[in-house]
Amino acid sequence: MLTCTSADPDPFASQTSCICHHPALPSLMRRMSADLSRRGFIASIAASLGGLAMPSQAHAQPARPISLTNFRLFDGRSGSLREGLSILVKDSRIDSVAEGNPAPPDGVQVIDCGGRVLIPGLIDMHWHSLFAAVPLQVLLTGDFGYVYVAAVAEAERTLMRGFTTVRDLGGPAFALQQAIDQRIVPGPRIYPSGTMITSSGGHGDLRWLHEVPRGSVLSQSEQTGSSAIVDGPDQVTLRVREQLLRGASQIKLVGSGGVSSPRSPLDALTLTEPELRAGIQAAQDWNTYVAVHAYTPRAIQRAITAGATCIEHGHLMDEETAKMMAEKDIWLSTQPFLDANDTVPLTGESRAKMLQVFAGTDKAYTLAKQYKIKTAFGSDLLFSGTLTARQGTMLSHLVRWYTPAEILIMATSTNADLLALSGPRNPYPGKLGVVEDGALADLLLIDGNPLEDVGLLTDPGKNIVLIMKDGSIYKDTRPA
C-alpha cells in the first residue's frame, strides 16, 4: 500500500499526489500528456499501478454458477410480481428461470433472497460518464487527467445506485468503457456516443470568446473529445465517422440550443437539415442510429424530417410535434426535470433557459402519454457529485405521470429496446432489461416492493441489498 506525503491542499494543483512516489509515474504521465483521450488511458493507469486505490469490490469476477431462490420477480415486462421461481446464472447470463425450487447442480452457489423483490438492473439513457460529477469550471480549466480519475470513482457509485447500464450521450468515455469491460474498475456497461457533435454557436460550443473566430487550433473542449464543432455537411460526416471508428454505438447530434451553454439560445436551430441528413446517413451506413438533442417544435420537426430515430429532451414540444413523432414512430428520450433541485445552480441566461425546461416538462410527458410515443428514461445529471446521487430520485419523479410498474418497465425493458437500435454496433449483444432465459445477468434485490413504492430506489444504499452485473456480484448486504 502506497501512502501520499504531499501536503498540498489544492486538489487541482496536486491531482496525482496519492501516487506521487510510484516508480511507474514518470512514464505514465508522459503517456497521459501525449493523448488524454486515447482508449488505453485508464487501462494503462490501472496496469501500471497494479490496481492501487481500487475498492475491494472492483475485481468482482464471474464466480461459480449461482442459484437464486425465494424471491418475488419483476421480469422487466410484466406489471406484476411472480413467485415460486428459481434462477440459475452461469457466467454472464441467466441460464434458466424455472418453476419451483429444483435442487441446484453440484458446485452452485445458492443465494436465498429472503422473499425480497428481484428486478433487472436499471438503465439510464442519458448519462455523461466523464462529466456527471465534475464541476463545469474544472472541465473547462482543470487537468483532464483529474476528470478521468473522478469519472472512475463516479462509475462505481453509478453501479452502486443500481444502474448497471448507461447510454453515454457525449464525452470521451471510450477508455472508461474499456476499463470497466475488462474489469479493471467497477462501473455500469456503457453505450458510448463519443464526442457530442455541434455547430459553431451550438450547445456544446464552449469556446472562450478569444477563441473566436475559429482558427487552425482546436479549442480545449475539442482537444479533449468533449465536443466537435462542425459547419457544413462534409464536416458532420467526417466527425460522425470518426466517432464510429472509435467505437461509438450511436451518435449524438445537437439540433438546438441548450441550457448549460450560456451563449446558445434554447430556441436556436443549430444544425441545418442537410447537416443533420449527412450525420444521420453516415450513422445509417454503419447500421446504427442518431439521437438528436432538440427542445423546440421546430428543432424536433427538422430532426425528424432529416431522418432522426430518437429525440433527446423535447421538453418544449407542442401537440403537432407529438402527433408527428407518434405517426413516424420516433423515440423520445427525456428527463423529468421538475425544479432547481434537479440541476446545478445556474445564473443569467442559463437559468432562464432552465426555467423554460422546467415549465415544459409536464406538457411533454402528458403529450407523450396521450399519443403513446415510445418514451425512454434518462437523468442527464451533470457537473455535481451531489446531483448524481439523485439518479434514483429522478426516476421516482415519473410518478407524476406513470405507475411504479410503468416506471420500472421504462427503466428496464423499454430502455433496452432503444439500446438495441444500435444493431451490429451494439457492444454488448444479448438481452438487457429483462429476466428471462439467455438474458445478461444484471439483477437487483430490493428490500421492499418497488412496484408499490418506486421511491425505494431513492435510497439505494439502504434498499438495494444485492447488485449483480454480468453474473458477478458487486454488492451483497443481505443479513447473515
pTM: 0.88
Please name the residues in contact with 159: beta carbons below 8 A apart, sequence gap of 6 or more: 186, 187, 188, 467, 469, 474
Beta bridge partners of 311: 292, 332
Amino acid 206: pLDDT: 81
In angstroms, the CA 139 to CA 383 distance is 9
In angstroms, the CA 63 to CA 338 distance is 42
The answer regarding whether domain 122-425 maps to CATH 3.90.1170.40 reads no
Closest CA to 464 of 447, 449, 439, 452: 447
Amino acid 46: pLDDT: 43
In angstroms, the CA 347 to CA 166 distance is 29
Amino acid 473: pLDDT: 97
Amino acid 197: pLDDT: 97
98: left (phi over 0), alpha (psi -120 to 50) or beta: beta
Amino acid 278: pLDDT: 98
Mean pLDDT by 10 residues, the chain (480 residues): 35 35 42 43 43 44 84 97 97 95 88 98 98 88 90 98 98 97 98 97 86 80 85 98 98 96 92 98 98 98 98 98 98 96 91 96 98 98 95 98 98 98 96 98 98 98 98 95
Helix boundaries (H) for 162-312: 174-181, 220-223, 233-246, 273-285, 297-306
Cell (9 digits) for 419? 439500446
Whole-number CA gyration radius for the chain? 22
In angstroms, the CA 148 to CA 22 distance is 19
Amino acid 127: pLDDT: 98
In angstroms, the CA 434 to CA 127 distance is 21
Helix boundaries (H) for 380-468: 385-388, 391-396, 404-409, 415-419, 460-463
* Residue ranges covered by each domain of the chain: 65-119+435-445+464-476, 122-425
Closest CA to 253 of 303, 287, 288, 295: 303
Q: What superfamily would CATH give domain 65-119+435-445+464-476?
A: Urease, subunit C, domain 1 (2.30.40.10)
Cβ atoms 357, 315 nearer than 8 A:
yes
Closest CA to 19 of 8, 6, 32: 6
Cβ atoms 398, 410 nearer than 8 A:
yes
Cβ atoms 50, 184 nearer than 8 A:
no
Beta bridge partners of 192: 168
In angstroms, the CA 95 to CA 74 distance is 17
Please name the residues in contact with 317: beta carbons below 8 A apart, sequence gap of 6 or more: 296, 297, 300, 325, 360, 363, 364, 367
Amino acid 62: pLDDT: 54
Dihedrals phi, psi of 37, to nearest 5 degrees? -95, 10
Helices and strands in the chain, H and E counts: 16, 19
